[in-house]
Chain A
Amino acid sequence: MTSITAASLAERLARIPKLVLFGAAALVQIGLLAVMIIDRAQVLRDGAEVILQTRPVDPRDFLRGDYVVLGYDITQLSTGPLQNQPSGERNPQVYVKLAPNSEGVYGALSVHAAPVAVTNPEVLIRGRVIYGATCGSKWDTFCEKITVRYNLESYFVPEGEGRKLEDIRNQGKLSVVAAVLPSGRAAIKRLLIDGKPVYEEPWF
């Protein structure tokens, strides 16, 4: 039965002109790329803006090619009540509740294994634990400290400008405005040096 169905499907495909099939293959792949771009544009368009302070990162992770590795104050967190709770996997997703300080820069309030309700101006951002979810006798509980990535850690810049940005970042003058959707997904919207915009991300 399977064989007959497969054969009839193959015969039907064989009747369609080859140029149409090859064109459809190209369109499917272009469509998938377009989904990537439109999805990000949606985050930029609809996401709430939060300012995040960058911090120096491990020197081994400095400029690779032409992108800057960005670490944030919210990258390394204390798990609080989440400590010793089952993590489920080595790199689980977590939700970090953020709130602005008096200067408008967002910091972490708490870490959660599942989405929680937030009140304005709090924001919930989704990240993935890179280190700190393999404690306990079976390596399956959250540790005291975790390192989280938010898909905001790399920023590609024109050739030669990465080093300059690294120096500024290491002086604590570089901050990032991220767009965060209610689901927690985030994207970099603009880069600020001393609070002034230097790179603005267009939607497309």
Chain B
Amino acid sequence: MFDRVYRQRLDADLARWEADGVITPASLAAIRATLPPLAPSVNIAIVVAIVGGLLIAAAFLAFVAAHWTEIPRLLRLAMLFAGMLIAYGLGGWFARARQPILADLCAAIGALIFGAAIALVGQMYHLGGDFAGGMLLWAMGALAAAALTGSRGALAVALAAAIIWSCMRIFENSNTHFAFAAFWLAAGCLALAWNSRVAAHLVAVAALPWWIASALQTHLDFRPSFMLANGAALLFGSAIALAASPWQRTNQAGSVLSTYGAFSLAGVAILEATMANEVFRLRTGLANPSWMIASGMAGVIFAFAATAITRRAGTAFAAIAIGLVLVGAALWTPRPSGEPWLAYAALLCAMLCLVVSGMLDAARPRIVAGWLGIAGVIASITWAVKGSLLKRSIFLAVAGIVAVVLASALNRFMPRSRE
């Protein structure tokens, strides 16, 4: 879809450049000749056909549902198998006919039918005991289908099922569910193999609910925001490292992940500033697991390693931003009174570094995330329920003066450096 939009824009630009005399007709023809043919898109006839197919399928499903209990069990099972075979058969047929979108859709529908089949087999054979186990089975089957067919839809189904499985296990066991990480890495390898931005987005999105669910366990022996900070650091740091790699596939996946990493870092900074409020200081003496701290440190190390490889100032600022958010999280200690001024300062500096990093690397999502982070942290500091409002105003004024002095210094320094 985006390729088609780009092609339309390029055609318009080429026509304008030719009219303005920027390029010759021969150059225009040469440029057009280098462009690969566009993938066939879904036309109106296909859309109508899809709607018709969906209506027929819905009618068939309603008919079967009305007579479900009257149908012999083995016949019911055969119908479920047939449903899957038809979905994947159609998918294969569309793939052969070079209709990749429809083939992808059929594989996703096949994966959904597989999920429904697990539920119905569970019902028919009285196997309803382990719902989370059923979700794992669904996730595995859908991931296998995604790997074999290259379907992004099936990958989305697999990741959604895996998230439900993992969240249920976290709730059942009150422990971090590391098995999800293995599944997530397998999905990440698929995204790399496909060299697909859509798949990279899906994989990046899937990491967030798992980390949030892990941080929000009911029997907490650690601070949720501290775990989220370390998770955001690992995601952003490893994404920057991937983006700095010389291979195009990892480079592209890294740039997608870094967007989520940047927004996660900003979200965590806001959360840290908000949680520093006395209202949330309910529990003390919490112990943070070493694996959690190690993952945050790994994020910082990855980011600085990427800086050493790329020798780009923007990457260095991103690494500093990650480090400062972790410093802010470490400085935040539940106390009966007083405000974590150093943590506030570290978080504000981190968000400023994130904006600068985005500007230097021309990464707009990082700039947006940084600005959102700055706004959120200032809002959290300003709207704290308890504590001295006067002290907070002094802190913000001092922070503002430091920023203005820094801006003046930069204004003098930067033009000279360009000369």
Binding site for B on A (CB under 8 A): 2-4, 6-7, 9-10, 13, 17-26, 28-30, 32-33, 36-37, 40, 66-67, 89-91, 134, 138-140, 149-156, 158-159, 187-188, 201-202, 204
Contact = CB atoms under 8 A, between A and B. Distances in A.
B124 interface: yes
Interface in B100-126: 103, 106-107, 110-111, 114, 117-118, 121-126
B378 interface: no
Given A10-B194, A29-B141, A22 B129 contact: no
12 contacts: A2-B189, A22-B106, A25-B145, A26-B84, A26-B85, A26-B87, A26-B88, A28-B141, A33-B77, A37-B121, A40-B125, A90-B173
B92 A29 contact: no
B140 interface: yes
By size class, the interface of chain B is: 35 or more
Interface of B: 69, 73-74, 77, 80-81, 84-85, 87-89, 91-93, 95-96, 103, 106-107, 110-111, 114, 117-118, 121-130, 137, 140-141, 144-145, 148-150, 154, 171-175, 189, 192-195, 219, 221, 245, 247-250
Given A21-B149, A67-B123, A151-B130, 19 more contacts: A3-B245, A3-B248, A7-B193, A18-B96, A22-B89, A22-B95, A22-B103, A22-B106, A23-B89, A25-B107, A25-B110, A25-B144, A28-B145, A29-B110, A29-B114, A29-B141, A32-B137, A33-B117, A67-B128
A22 B93 CA distance: 9
A21 B172 CA distance: 37
Q: Which of A24, A152, A187 has the most CB of B within 10 A?
A: A24
Given A25-B88, A32-B137, A33-B81, A89 B148 contact: no
Chain B at the A interface: SS class: helix
B192 A26 contact: no
A107 B175 CA distance: 33
Contacts of B111: 29
Given A3-B250, A22-B107, A40-B125, A90 B93 contact: no
A152 B148 CA distance: 36
A30 B107 CA distance: 14
Q: Which of A7, A21, A187 has the most CB of B within 10 A?
A: A21
A90 B88 CA distance: 40
A13 B123 contact: no
A156 B189 contact: no
